[in-house]
Amino acid sequence: MTILLPKFLHIGSMFLATALAVGPLVVFTLILRTGDAAAIGRAFRFAEPVARAGGILYGLGILFGIIAALTGSIDLTARWLLTAYVIVILLGANGLYAERWMSHVEAAAERADASQLQAWQRSHRPIWSATVAAVLTLAVVFVMVVKPTVF
């Protein structure tokens, strides 16, 4: 097996995962900011399945990345890869955090709890979560392209 197919599958999976992780997170945050309880309720019903699909694609991307590295004789302990691993772990942690706050918003919308929805609408946590996701995504892309040695 040449490195091209696993590398393509790795890059494609990661792009799709990012599209399903960062894009919807920003959109959910913007919908939450509208304060429209009906729109929030409808939109946030999709938060869990979208997050799950993104997580599956990240997992496939990691698997294809390992296969590509082994097929292409890339050292899995190279410093730039270790840096990428740390960033991906941070991305995963932020994703779990985002899933948690989105599930709280969904629950508040299901209960039609106006005060909770207003509290979430004013909260800075969704904005920070989306910002962190975008920054970490750019950081991992930078590391994968430039291959700097941080450690």
Assess contact for 140 and 84: CB atoms under 8 A.
Answer: yes
Give the pLDDT confidence score for residue 150 in this predicted structure. Answer: 66
What tens digit of pLDDT does each residue of 19-74 get? Answer: 999 999 999 999 999 999 999 999 999 999 999 999 999 999 999 999 999 998 88
Give the pLDDT confidence score for residue 149 in this predicted structure. Answer: 74
CB atoms within 10 A of CB 102: 25
Domain regions of the chain by residue span: 4-146
Token pair recorded at residue 60:
């496939």
- The model scores a pTM over 0.85: yes
Give the pLDDT confidence score for residue 62 in this predicted structure. Answer: 94
Hey, is 46 helix, strand or coil?
coil
What tens digit of pLDDT does each residue of 70-122 get? Answer: 998 888 999 999 999 999 999 999 999 999 999 999 999 999 999 999 999 99
